[in-house]
Amino acid sequence: MASALKMQRMAGLGRALLPLRKRGSLAGQFDLHLVRFLHAGLPVLAAKEALVKLRKKTGYSFVNCKKALEKFDDVSEAEAWLHEQAQKEGWSKASKLQGRKTQEGLIGLLQEGSSAVMVEVNCETDFVARNVKFQHLIQQAAIGTMLHYQGTRDQLSTYAKCFLNSNELSQLRIGPDGSLLVDQLALAIGKLGENMVIKRAVWISVPEKFFIGSYVHGALPEGNPSLSNMMFGKYGALVICCPSEPCEKSDFAELGWRLGQHVVGMAPLSVGSLEDEPGDDSETKMLAQPFLLDPAISLGQYIQPTGVSVLDFVRFECGEDIELSASE
């Protein structure tokens, strides 16, 4: 039915233009215009598909993607131009916003086998902290830190704990193109319009017989699948443990989670030893502190029957005032 209607409309168009066809000099022009009329939708459709594809791949606005495609016929050239312009705009905005307070943000935790990374990235508002683009920046910082120490873990006889400060993090190379993390920071600032600081990171790796307990408090609900390897929150802890007997690390997953939770909640300053006398809420030695989930006993009394020794820990609190150095 639709096809018959279309044929009727074309026939009507032909009758309307019949006087022009009778003029011999215009006959060829009419045929050319008719061909263009019949196929006008094809280049428009292709351009629209290219626009949607470029927008989906880069995340930039339709206006900027359209501008890029108007400048370059090749989609890859348009994409490169978009990244270049975004970088310029990002650095410009980062320069203008520099110095504004960044008291909000998130702790990001990434754990892969016997290694773990914890990163703190700050921004101005909690609204931006919940943005996927901000969380993606944290993920880039965590992966960059993990890759930076990748060769180190193969040489371990005991556990390793290494810190990176803001300046050291900014020079990490990430991604397949080897771009600097500081460039990705500028892009994020340009897109989200707030000052941001990649404040610090810690990398921990342990030998096969050890395990790392981890915990993040104030965790965000699960969101973007591309961030599924990360945990985000306002507080985070990593606890280095050594079982007395060889065993499956999965057997200690819950214990590691509880130890991390204790570190976040009780904020110890040192590990201490099992011989320390149990203290009260003012105690700063981890093993002598009242166990967070059962204050009637100390943490040392809680873990002693498990045969697990706590060797070290790291606690991050988002926004805390602390100066870190690489040698810490």
Query: Where does residue 307 fall: left (phi above 0), alpha (psi -120 to 50 degrees), or beta otherwise?
Result: left
**Predicted pLDDT of residue 35:** 39
Q: For the chain, what are the domain ranges? A: 41-97, 104-317
Task: State the fold for domain 104-317.
Answer: Tetrahydropterin Synthase; Chain A (3.30.479)
Percentages helix, strand, coil for the chain, rounded to the nearest 5? 50, 25, 30
Q: Which residue has the tokens 């120490």?
A: 149
Average pLDDT by consecutive 10-residue portion of the chain (328 residues)?
46 44 42 40 61 67 71 74 63 61 92 95 94 95 93 76 94 83 88 91 94 91 82 97 80 93 97 96 97 96 95 96 51
Torsion of CA 79, 80, 84, 89, to 10 degrees: 0
Q: Residue 68 has which token pair?
A: 């890029």
Q: Two tokens at 324? A: 């870190």
Residues 6+ apart with CB under 8 A from 114: 153, 205, 206, 207, 208, 210, 211, 212
Distance CA 81, CA 115 (A): 38
d(Cα 257, Cα 288) in Å, to the nearest integer?
19
Superfamily of domain 41-97: Ubiquitin-associated (UBA) domain (1.10.8.10)
What is the Cβ-side half-sphere exposure of residue 61, based on CA atoms within 13 angstroms? 8
